[in-house]
Structure 1
């Protein structure tokens, strides 16, 4: 019996009702992850990017649509457990102490415990719990080695690391794609799975990652804060005249249309507490949910 048939049987409703129920379950997870990401002003778009890289890598590796969709959802949810990491550690600009790093290392298991009882928890368990496990056994939280690291974790781990390297942080600008690929290549069989790592390298060298790097949605690059770098997220529903804010320095920017593109122009003002409240990109999440649910239910 297919998953869709099981849902219809369980809910006693129509196929449309079963699909909507599944989409609502997925959306609840993605919104939760979005709010966790919003705590860190330097990770705007990180979950979307990791999800897109993961889907691309899974597909390129020959996995079917349902498997690729599952791994993409896991990529969106992989950092859920960072809700438990204190702000002073999450946003620290200097090297973490051993004690602070020990706190960071708890987030995969915290994320998994957060999902306890959720109907879709098993769908994303491997990505959440294993994205920091490494082939050499030096990863965390369980120190798994080689092929004992679940497939989803091996894929999401590569994509997460690549995005971290190519994204700007408070203490450094993002690396070039070439630099990040070189680091991955140097660490195959140690930090990164060789099979998936080599496929990711091929994607990068074929120019198939550039449309995701530095973006927060398809075709929408992050805009530059004059103080903090590329931290400004523009949504599909934004228009000229709207205001957006840097959640690091709180600077306000007005969106102006120039040559068919929305440009962020500093206003010289700071955002208020209300203006700086995290705002879920409902359109983006709905798009991810529709695409993922369709593939998962058909699998």
Structure 2
């Protein structure tokens, strides 16, 4: 019995359909949709996945999908809904196996699928189409022949589509680059080339023996030599171009004239004649164009002065273009940063993500002793590493955005006069050390160091944040996971340096946190600027009832990496006898609608984990209304109060509350000093606290 082919479309002429479709008019996405539509007519399945062979020919990379009928499947039964989740999340790449070259059923990412290889002329393998969910594992001989016809026709069409798409992309890239280069006369590189060219022309036209062009830097305080020819050894290094006490005298009143003032200096280098013209903009000296002769018989003429004057006007024009382009570059980059932040705000779990990646990447670069400029570049790359996600129109094939966003992001900045490190870090931050990353499958030293650093910073920011699917990793789990990924996903040296940073923070004093929460979360301005922990720069952010943790994905302090790392650190110190544990006991009395927690002894950092666990267990078990009896508590510090605030916020998330009763004067004084009396409910007696529950 046959497995797949629809009876009503058995006579479908695949080659005729392919030949009459105007592939040249449309992009690859439209072309793939047409091919999928033909397959839908031919094959009785719901999901279709196109995988193409990678450049290294070791794996298949997901190119496109079609799941237009999958919703019909999910509505039929609960079991189908589970299948829906499986088939809606295809792997972005799969290891190439011999079975992919045959028309047979295969198992991929937990599902049964039919494999249809794409063979040009029936021989050259370029990829495969997977169809599913499979209803029957038997394929008849006739069906296999029909699918072989489809395989060859589809392979030919897809190969041509890919070549056309790549060619169009290259043409578009060249067109955009050419357009930008017309405007890029303002980049620092182009200014230097232009000035160097003018100096060459001036020397040729005037027959001068040497010369230089100096221009003020961006701060407009210092003048630096941008081009020089045939200067005596040491001349450029020792030359003083300060307009007040340097080689030339210049004044605003007579701004078009430069007068040689340091005769001894030029005589030292045997300069017999010098002609210098000032570059003046809005009555400010912005540069000097000078020609020199070492032959006493050669004097500069009016023609020489005319040439220099003309050339200085050309340089001023270019410098103005430079400033305009630099302003454009700055504004454009700031726009990309704003786009990245806006994209981060798609969910509370990702708010501040780009800022966090930037901070972590900069820390690693600093640990690796990079230069200040290199650290700045990596930090900037972190701010926009996911900007390519904003450059993709939302489509049902959402994986394409994720898979291609590094290339898209790099293309958005590679036309700018910025460091190549920034561009390549964005392009390669999803490549893996072992070659199993994307989009280009680079491995090892093929990945620039900036990309390797950004990759691990992105990973760290992700796993230390909560998501819909999982809680943030603990520091212990992060360190374990890094070891598993060492040399596979991440460069060994970069893993080693990140671990050093984490262990250094782990060894901080207990009065300190792993990091300030706002810094750790990437300082999302619209969240942190209104948060009391940020405003007061307090170490224990969990000690504030009004902190805005839920705005960046932490619904309670128990979800927060920073808080859990601190608890983990305290527990380690207790287990290793590094701190003396105070005597604290607690009892729980269940009442109608609430529970009384009787505490006795001293509450400080040494009992914080014990107190936190006791209150958390009660709240998690459903006892969300508590009265904490403080009558037998002789001492409490800020860490103990912080645990009360953590429990109070947790109870609030479950529509409960915590009230505090019978605090001794010395304990009440600490509560009032920390201003927690403005937020917590305080009662003189347990009986008063227990009313109205």
Is 1:37 paired with 2:369? no
Per-residue CA distance 1:113-147 (angstroms, 9 max, x = gap): 33353443845211111001011000000000101
Is 1:72 paired with 2:393? no
Offset at 1:176? 1.8
Q: Which residue of 1 aligns with 2:427?
A: 129
Measured in 1, the distance between the counterparts of 2:552 and 2:362 equals: 33
The alignment's TM-score, normalised by the length of structure 2, stands at 0.29
Q: Which residue of 2 aligns with 1:177?
A: 475
Q: Which SS does the other structure have where 2:338 is aligned?
A: helix
Query: 1:185–1:198: 8 Å Cα contact kept in structure 2?
Result: no
Of residues 32, 56, 59 in structure 1, which corresponds to 2:366? 59
Query: 2:389–2:401: 8 Å Cα contact kept in structure 1?
Result: no
Is 1:24 paired with 2:331? yes
Change (3 A) 1:204 1:3: farther
Query: 2:351–2:552: 8 Å Cα contact kept in structure 1?
Result: no
**CA RMSD in angstroms, aligned pairs only:** 4.0
Measured in 2, the distance between the counterparts of 1:102 and 1:192 equals: 23
Is 1:229 paired with 2:554? yes
Q: Which residue of 2 aligns with 1:207?
A: 505
Measured in 2, the distance between the counterparts of 1:159 and 1:193 equals: 12
Measured in 2, the distance between the counterparts of 1:109 and 1:215 equals: 24
Query: 1:81–1:107: 8 Å Cα contact kept in structure 2?
Result: yes
Offset at 1:228? 5.8
Q: Which SS does the other structure have where 2:383 is aligned?
A: helix
Q: How many positions carry a matched residue from both structures?
A: 227
Structure 2 gap segments, 5+ residues each: 1-186, 193-216, 219-314, 507-513, 535-540, 542-546, 557-672, 680-693
Q: Which residue of 2 aligns with 1:198?
A: 496
- Write the mapping of 1:79-98 to structure 2, written as runs, cut at 5 A: 79-84=386-391
Measured in 2, the distance between the counterparts of 1:214 and 1:112 equals: 25
Per-residue CA distance 1:2-25 (angstroms, 9 max, x = gap): 959868678525x99998666435
Structure 1 gap segments, 5+ residues each: 90-98, 232-257, 265-299
Change (3 A) 1:16 1:87: closer
Query: 2:339–2:390: 8 Å Cα contact kept in structure 1?
Result: no
Offset at 1:88? 9.0
- Which region of structure 1 is more displaced relative to structure 2, 51-60 or 38-47? 38-47
- Write the mapping of 1:153-164 to structure 2, written as runs, cut at 5 A: 153-164=451-462
Answer 1 or 2: higher relative contact order, Cα 8 Å, separation at least 6. Answer: 1
Offset at 1:109? 1.4
Q: Which residue of 2 aligns with 1:275?
A: none
Measured in 1, the distance between the counterparts of 2:376 and 2:352 equals: 18
The alignment's TM-score, normalised by the length of structure 1, stands at 0.63
Change (3 A) 1:102 1:226: closer
Query: 1:77–1:124: 8 Å Cα contact kept in structure 2?
Result: no
